[in-house]
Amino acid sequence: MIGQIIINGLLNGFVYALVAVGLSLTWGVMDIVNFAHGEFLLWGMYGAFWIWALIGLDPLLSLPIMVVLIFILGVLVYLIVIRRVLNAPGLTALLATFGLSMVLKNLTQFFWTANYRNVTNPLVSNKSLKLLGMYIRQDYLVAAAGALLLTILVMTFMDKTKTGVAIKATSMNKQAAQLMGIDTNKIYAITFGLSGACVGAAAALMASFTPIYPEACALYSTLAFVIVALGGFGNIKGALFAGLIIGVAEALGGYLVGTSYKYMIVFIIYLVVIQIRPRGLFGW
């Protein structure tokens, strides 16, 4: 039984990490708290749903499409809104993304009502693989593999490509990066797009097993905030591990203490860890 709970927690943790990696990019790298992150995810899920509903393409197969579409959404959001508030004092940028999240969320309500949408009979279903008497959900397993792959991809991108290095340089010192001839405006646009692309991939992977409605992503984004902070800002590997820790803590805590308390345990863990490591588990 405990084994089953841990497996569930791990799989769920990968899904959390999937959402958190995208957030880690904008928040850690650009120092922009993007409250509309959950709504990016929401739009990705609706996108995957409608592609499935209208032309019958399974959400999993529409993954590349969603990656591109939400990348574009991210870049547009940057160019239209974020760029203007980037240097504003205090929490102005936060407020802007908050307004944005209201717009994006309620647009889904406006276009598609608050009805719950389910992708029925997806390519990978909720059927389980049996391993040592434990049930492993196929849909979650695919999402977990996707999360792992995505994190590795993003990390490789940041380490190995010129753009990635430029993003890192910009995050460390914007003025210096500009002096080195980096077009920081372009770098920020790419970072926002990349964050969107991650969420787009997450949405396509999650659409098979999540009921889709305007409020669907609220808790995912709250948890993503905690996960990014727990992992250490700007640390993508940190976000992955923090996601897994949170997932397992939630499942185990829920099982041992009571399922109503499962999120409380997550928040307590953050408070405790942050006392010991004030810059997150993997913070520099």
Can residue 51 be called a binding residue for another protein (CB under 8 A)? no
Can residue 165 be called a binding residue for another protein (CB under 8 A)? no
Of the candidate residues 40, 60, 70, 137, the single one contacting another protein (CB under 8 A): 137
Report how far residue 130's alpha carbon sits from residue 7's, in angstroms, rounded to the nearest whole number. Answer: 12
Residues near 113 by beta carbon (within 8 Å), at least 6 away in sequence: none
Min dist CB 219 to another protein, Å, is 5
Question: How far lies 251's CA from each of 6, 12, 126, in Å?
Answer: 7, 9, 18
Question: Scanning residues 203 to 222, which ones bind another protein (CB under 8 A)?
Answer: 209-211, 213-216, 218-220, 222
Identity of the residue, 111 or 175, whose beta carbon is nearer to another protein in the bound complex = 111
Identity of the residue, 11 or 67, whose beta carbon is nearer to another protein in the bound complex = 11
Q: Which stretch binds another protein (CB under 8 A): 79-87, 146-154, 163-171, 187-195?
A: 79-87
Q: How many residues does this entry show for the chain?
A: 284
Min dist CB 226 to another protein, Å, is 6
Identity of the residue, 148 or 264, whose beta carbon is nearer to another protein in the bound complex = 264
Q: Which stretch binds another protein (CB under 8 A): 42-50, 175-183, 196-204, 225-233?
A: 225-233
Residues near 230 by beta carbon (within 8 Å), at least 6 away in sequence: 238, 242, 245, 246, 269, 270, 273, 274, 280, 281
Question: Scanning residues 90 to 109, which ones bind another protein (CB under 8 A)?
Answer: 90-96, 98-107, 109
Nearest to 169 by CA among 29, 15, 16, 8: 29
Identity of the residue, 166 or 235, whose beta carbon is nearer to another protein in the bound complex = 235
Identity of the residue, 194 or 251, whose beta carbon is nearer to another protein in the bound complex = 251
Dihedral over alpha carbons 67, 72, 73, 77 (to 10 degrees): 140
Question: Scanning residues 250 to 279, which ones bind another protein (CB under 8 A)?
Answer: 250-251, 254-255, 258-264, 267-268, 270-271, 274-275, 278-279
How many CB atoms within 10 Å of residue 236?
Answer: 27
Size of the site for another protein (CB under 8 A): 85
Question: How far lies 103's CA from each of 114, 118, 216, 243, in Å?
Answer: 15, 23, 15, 28
Min dist CB 137 to another protein, Å, is 5
Identity of the residue, 16 or 282, whose beta carbon is nearer to another protein in the bound complex = 16
Task: Give the DSSP letter of residue 248.
Answer: H
Q: What is residue 220's three-state secondary structure?
A: helix
